[in-house]
Structure 1
Amino acid sequence: MFTMGTDFKYQYAESWFRQMDKLIHYVNKDGRVNALYSTPSIYTDAKFSTNEPWPLKTNDFFPYADNPNAYWTGYFTSRPALKRYVRMMSGYYLAARQLEFFIGKSKSGSTTDSLGDALALAQHHDAVTGTEKQHVANDYAKRLSIGYKKAEELVSTSLGCLSESGSNSRCSSPTTKFGQCPLLNITYCPPSEMNLSQGKSLVVLVYNSLGWKREDVLRIPVMSDSIVVHDSEGKEIESQLLPIANVSLNLRDRHVKVYLGTSPAASPKFWVAFPASVPPLGFSTYFISSGKRSASISSTSTLNSQGNESRNLQVGQGRLKLHYDAAGSLSQYSDSKTQVEANFEQKYKYYIGQDGSGDDPQASGAYIFRPKDVVPIKTDGQVPPTILRGPILDEVHQQINPWIYQITRVYKGKDYVETEFIVGPIPVDDENGKELSTEIITSMATNKTFYTDSSGRDFIKRVRDYRSEWKIEVNQPVAGNYYPINLGIYVEDGSKELSILVDRSVGGSSIKDGQIELMLHRSMMMVVVLRKH
């Protein structure tokens, strides 16, 4: 097999094929070898037909480097917002395709084609990887947004048709109109930000595109603290109100103004959280209205630096609990069902990226991760954590530093912890590029071993500073042990296992035994060196 074409060298197809035609002609004229235009499937069939044994490779080639200081492990995290956008739109596309099939594809109405095209473009190796220039990243995001808007119309129509009794599969103009909230990540959802005091109700339709039943907790921004939630049969559902953090409202105000060109008239005050159960490939309907008996309002407390509330704060209403020490740092995890109790810390740090000004001009950049130094982010003297408690979930809000805010959620009926973080803008006034990571630290003896997923499928065993097929000398002990995390990463010691799942592709590793770290964000600086000759 001879592959044809490469980056920036395949722009003139006529010239390429003319030269390839000549090569094939003269090779075949010689007669010893038969050359032809081929495809991967034709090549594979030809190899298979030789009936020869071939070695089976079950691992991969990560981490890749093309010189001792150039490990291509930075792009695992580059442009994390675009990575998340692509993943969200991929899931939305799947649901929209299903709904498009349910009601029948229209030749004149909205379709999912535009979103499918945008997602296909986003699979380019300089798109979702984050290695493109800013104006190109903007173009990918714009195409995704255009595709989403067209698919949004289809989804609204389809759900309206499916929810109206007696509607047939060819319904095209339902009377029910559903609004959607693509900007929930910045706490913006106009359909839910309505005054319910005049007897109005907010109808929430939840669609499940998966082939199995889902039970989860929904969170929707609302204006009132007098809220009651009912299911489709009129049964009241337990719900909980959580005050929206100021940092979220500030983010909302800034970005909604950019998105709409104007600031919203009023801001929601609470998230209403309630459990939802949705059948496979189906939907459930819930009703939010103003009621005499309001949803439970989360109790709020603050753990001060002296730990007056408790010397060992416990968070969690169910079997799983997190324990915080007097300084407000996570110290222990416990699960009453599995009888697991373990020391457990979470910290933030950033790597200072090489700027290319030294003897080796290789810098940290969109592709390359080359740290020069690591700086731990201390939480001493920061704002004490705020704890919200309620019947459905507990939340711990922490302002880690001026540009990192974290919310940790422990659900009563779930056996996992959920972490949401707001990062940025990363300060670069000191002219140092920063690559932000969070790390989970345990006392587990993991013997240099950890596991990462292979493109969201099987998990592959990784051993620090080791490759099973060749002897390696790792010149970059951090960057040389980073791997792509598309689904998750875990470590184990024979009796316990620590697993982390991610909501977008990032880079990660276990740099020390018992530790897992994930790179969350990157902000690089570039030095231009001018030399006089």
Structure 2
Amino acid sequence: MGITSRRQRFPRLLITLCLVTFGIPLSSQEDKTKCHQACHPTVPGKINAHIIAHTHDDVGWLKTVDQYYYGSKKEHSQLGVQYILDSVTSELAKNKDRRFVYVETSFFWRWWEEQNDHVRASVKELVDQGRLEFLLGGWCMSDEATPHYSALIDQMTLGLKYLNDTFGECGQPRVAWQIDPFGHSAEVALEFADMGFDGVFFGRIDHEDIALRKKNKTMEMVWRPDDTLGPEGDFFTGVMYNIYDPPAGFCFDTYCDDEPIMDNPKLHGVNVNTRVNEFIEVVKKYAQAYKTNNVIITMGGDFHYVVASSWFKNIDKLIKYVNAKPNSDVNVLYSTPACYLQALNKENITWPSKMDDDFFPYGSDEHSYWTGYYTSRPTFKYFVYQVNVALQMTKQLKTALPNDTLADEQFLIQRAMGIAQHHDAVSGTERQHVTDDYSLYLSEGVQAAMKVINVAYRHLLGDYLPEQQACLLMNISQCELPSPTTNYVVLYNPVAHETSSYVVLPVPVGSYKVFGPAGNELETDLLPIQSSVLAIPGRQSTATHSLIFNATGLPPLGANLYLIEKTTAVPTIAQAKTVAKNEDIVVDNGKIKLIFNGTTGLLEQIVRNGVASKLKQNFYYYEGAKGYNYNPLNRASGAYIFRPAKDEKIAVNETAEIKVFQGKNVTEVHQIFTPWLSQTIRVYSNDENIEFIWQVGPIPIVEWQGKEIVTVYDTDIASNSTFYTDSNGRRWMKRLRNYRSSWNWTASEPIAANYYPVTTGAYIADKKQRLNVLVDRPEGASSMRNGSVEIMIHRRLLYDDNKGVREPLDEIAFSQGLVARGTHIVQFVDVRHAAKKYRLRNVRNVYRPWLTVSKADVPNSAEFKISAKSNSFSLLKKPLPHNIHILTLEQWTNSTVLARFEHIFDKKEDPALSSPVPLFFNTGFVQPPEPTENG
């Protein structure tokens, strides 16, 4: 069996062992039809209005996921999902003509756990008959801009497997339903196509785009997100007329103001004829935007159907009276998206196409571009990405344990990560107390994961190993070593090939020795931690220095054990270099030279192979627009919306205080721009990668003016208004400044409308050079001038943007503005090798080694060396090639393991590494060891 470079074949994403793509065995077309024989017939020659009765239940937003489920905290929202499911299933059972669709598996799981056998049997009957149909099937309706594709696949797998295990074939969704995310990703569309969905429907696309589509009847299309796949990559895509809300005047929930259908002539207030005529006009208006005589009418909205009878009674009447109306050219029917697609298939229509493009950014009006949420809540975004590594590691390690070991613990972290992908979670568009709850779930997930990790480590390294502690605050140099003398560090590599990684361990000042798994002493550097880091609010650590060593030979899907020994020797600490005033400062690591202006303290040039090139970097901010949103011109910048008050950004400072610390293998440049913004630039010996470790906050507020902080990398690359952003960490999207492929764009917001989401990186290039910028969390990015990459890293705003959250994005921690600290890895490289360098480093950046610490149970390094044979392990018999990644390795059933392999290079991206790779699975995996007493 071989794996080709993605985009050489379809499905291009991966090969899955034991199960089909993404782990959900989709039924054959014949099986699907058997489960969905309940479609009501359409009427030829009439406009068929497909009523989609639905509820959109956010998995956290104004309330936490559990508050929404129970209906608690009514001061935030009156609604409870448990009552929706109670009510809907009861009302469906009363009338076999009714249909309902449901999406959020996370909520359904909560509800199903509480039902008795009688209710479960009734609901299974509804599902088997196609009267209750699941759409999408993921644990949540995910965001499409900010999640990493591995997390998207995991949350879909979790939900789809649950539905399959609970309902079998008839519980498997046939249609993706992404009605609320704020823009739509090419990578997500490709994944949905790979999953076997018949199509996707969504509601939010740019206001200019949808206006043109309504006019030209192109609301439905064949989307080819990756043109290199050809027709095999085509995916039917439908845009809803009214996002996902009911038509104006036809909301029948108990808290809606619209008039019900009153049809009893014995009573006063009969309005049935008027209401029926109004509804017919709505249907005809909608139909003018579509190519066939079929049109979707969404009847539902946010947390609708708490009292489902209110909806169903009125829809029943609409269907009855519209269809009975003499000479009417409208037919109304209960339907589902799957039934709607079935009707479209009979029309034999040639659909318009959208080629090699996506639906970002989303502008709901000319001054409301939803590009701020790409960066909103940067510390939470980082936490989500950290926990994703813990989840992948947990699933991998659990395959080495007996099947039923700690299954609940793995499910807990899977659930936590599942809800974190919601379009009001990792997006950063939820209220603060909801973010806190997501973080609590993720923290509990990590705690549960550590139980699996510790049991697996004792299996694989030995029962002697003390319980390991995770280091989740390494980005603020906080990871307390439990013992004052000797400690273990375990470094787990979740990537399927051998790698190396520099460890930067925060320690108190002192002399330390580090011993590798073979018992050999490793070379170390001891550098002072930057003063601004030590002053981060809430930081609780005695560490004042960074102990740095190179952990080489990290085994594939495996770990190395290291011993950290504190000695009584006088510590050797890297001292600040003396720099002559006004002279350029040169940092030379043997591979590249970085040149800083001695007067300003700012980076200005990079020298590679003796050739100097422009590489400037500085920090700026946009003033967030103030406003109370009473019209588009008064739109405020907020959690969703990025709207700068001025088109020009302002430099945080034109100079920086600078100190240079040079160790044996590591050099750090410490820059302080202001008391609230600083940076450490780190380079390692003979390494082209440059780490820019920025620290922002508390962002000062003066005269109620919010700020949106960006960093800019300026080069002399002739980028010609072109830049590239990743699509959920997987494929590249070409972006052109001030351009849209589907319509002639109006430049009403020239800054915000040129921002795009990045989850792992962005780049610019010309025929000779390329600048890659790798990020450690989702961020918004642009190229506002040729040769420049601009990335937004933090936001603090004092006005709400009136998109529903009703709370300004003013994050407070420890009684002051939030401090965010993160890393960009910059590669300024020859364009011929840029793709290789980016892809190989990006895998290590996303799936970074997981570090844990514990007290050491050996008195000294000599004892540690004796046990060297048990200081390392790998789940693989041999590493995979560097261009092949194991995306998933997890226990699936008692007798099967789910493994997904992917080729990480695009077709023709690299002359060698894009080639197909043969894999021989019978020699690649290690059998799990026999369980010990702790198992």
TM-score (norm 1): 0.85
| Cα distance change, pair 347–490 in 1 and its aligned pair in 2 (3 A) | same
| Cα distance change, pair 193–420 in 1 and its aligned pair in 2 (3 A) | farther
| Residue 20 of structure 1: how far off its partner (Å) | 9.1
Asked if structure 2 preserves the Cα contact closer than 8 Å seen for 1:510 and 1:516, the reply is yes
Tell me the equivalent position of 2:394. 96
1:343-376 C-alpha deviation (Å, 9 max, x unpaired): 1111111111111169722111111111012452
**Distance in 1 between residues matched to 2:476 and 2:51, nearest whole Å:** 49
| Cα distance change, pair 292–116 in 1 and its aligned pair in 2 (3 A) | same
| Residue 95 of structure 1: how far off its partner (Å) | 0.6
Q: Which amino acid aligns with 2:719?
A: T
1:443-522 alignment to 2 at 5 Å? 443-522=716-795
2:619 aligned with 1:348: yes
Q: Which amino acid aligns with 1:286?
A: Y
Residue 483 (structure 2) aligned to one of 178, 194, 215: 194
Tell me the equivalent position of 1:143. 441
Asked if structure 1 preserves the Cα contact closer than 8 Å seen for 2:530 and 2:680, the reply is no
Tell me the equivalent position of 2:497. 212
Gaps of 5+ in 1: 168-173, 258-263
| Residue 176 of structure 1: how far off its partner (Å) | 3.1
C-alpha RMSD over aligned residues: 3.1
2:359 aligned with 1:69: no
| Residue 35 of structure 1: how far off its partner (Å) | 5.3
2:589 aligned with 1:317: yes
**Distance in 1 between residues matched to 2:389 and 2:348, nearest whole Å:** 41
1:150-188 C-alpha deviation (Å, 9 max, x unpaired): 222222222122111xx7xxxxxx663222212222322
1:357-409 C-alpha deviation (Å, 9 max, x unpaired): 69722111111111012452354565x20111112211100011110010111
Tell me the equivalent position of 1:121. 419
| Cα distance change, pair 34–21 in 1 and its aligned pair in 2 (3 A) | closer
The SS at the match of 1:372 is coil
Asked if structure 2 preserves the Cα contact closer than 8 Å seen for 1:228 and 1:295, the reply is no
Residue 184 (structure 1) aligned to one of 447, 450, 474: 474
2:506 aligned with 1:221: yes
| Residue 5 of structure 1: how far off its partner (Å) | 3.6
**Distance in 1 between residues matched to 2:665 and 2:594, nearest whole Å:** 15
Asked if structure 1 preserves the Cα contact closer than 8 Å seen for 2:499 and 2:554, the reply is yes
Residue 306 (structure 2) aligned to one of 3, 8, 12: 12
| Residue 274 of structure 1: how far off its partner (Å) | 0.8
2:706 aligned with 1:433: yes
Residue 603 (structure 2) aligned to one of 330, 336, 356: 330
Asked if structure 1 preserves the Cα contact closer than 8 Å seen for 2:616 and 2:713, the reply is yes
| Residue 295 of structure 1: how far off its partner (Å) | 7.9
The SS at the match of 2:360 is coil
The SS at the match of 2:439 is helix
1:508-531 C-alpha deviation (Å, 9 max, x unpaired): 1001111110011111122899xx
Q: Which amino acid aligns with 2:483?
A: M
| Cα distance change, pair 467–247 in 1 and its aligned pair in 2 (3 A) | same
| Cα distance change, pair 108–76 in 1 and its aligned pair in 2 (3 A) | closer
Residue 377 (structure 1) aligned to one of 646, 651, 675: 651
| Cα distance change, pair 29–353 in 1 and its aligned pair in 2 (3 A) | same
The SS at the match of 2:746 is coil
Q: Work out the percentage of aligned pairs sharing the same amino acid.
A: 32
| Cα distance change, pair 244–18 in 1 and its aligned pair in 2 (3 A) | same
1:187-214 C-alpha deviation (Å, 9 max, x unpaired): 2222x26322xxxx32211111111222
| Residue 14 of structure 1: how far off its partner (Å) | 2.7
1:334-413 alignment to 2 at 5 Å? 334-336=607-609, 341-356=612-627, 360-373=633-646, 374-380=648-654, 382=656, 384-413=657-686
* Farther-moved stretch of structure 1 (98-107 vs 479-488): 98-107
**Distance in 2 between residues matched to 1:316 and 1:406, nearest whole Å:** 19
1:32-53 C-alpha deviation (Å, 9 max, x unpaired): 979565466x777886787765
Tell which has more relative contact order, 1 or 2 (C-alpha 8 A, sep 6+): 2
Asked if structure 2 preserves the Cα contact closer than 8 Å seen for 1:227 and 1:294, the reply is no
Tell me the equivalent position of 1:171. none
* Farther-moved stretch of structure 1 (288-297 vs 56-65): 288-297
**Distance in 2 between residues matched to 1:175 and 1:503, nearest whole Å:** 31
For these two proteins, the number of residue pairs brought into alignment is 498
1:477-511 C-alpha deviation (Å, 9 max, x unpaired): 10010001111111112111111111010111001
Tell me the equivalent position of 2:534. 249
**Distance in 2 between residues matched to 1:16 and 1:126, nearest whole Å:** 28
**Distance in 2 between residues matched to 1:27 and 1:416, nearest whole Å:** 69
| Cα distance change, pair 57–237 in 1 and its aligned pair in 2 (3 A) | same
| Cα distance change, pair 324–111 in 1 and its aligned pair in 2 (3 A) | same
1:61-111 C-alpha deviation (Å, 9 max, x unpaired): 111111111111111111111111111111111111212222235466861
**Distance in 1 between residues matched to 2:343 and 2:607, nearest whole Å:** 56
Tell me the equivalent position of 1:260. none
Asked if structure 2 preserves the Cα contact closer than 8 Å seen for 1:212 and 1:280, the reply is yes
Tell me the equivalent position of 2:184. none
Asked if structure 2 preserves the Cα contact closer than 8 Å seen for 1:70 and 1:370, the reply is yes
| Residue 255 of structure 1: how far off its partner (Å) | 1.6
The SS at the match of 2:489 is strand
**Distance in 2 between residues matched to 1:49 and 1:281, nearest whole Å:** 50
Quick check: which one's helix share is greater? 2
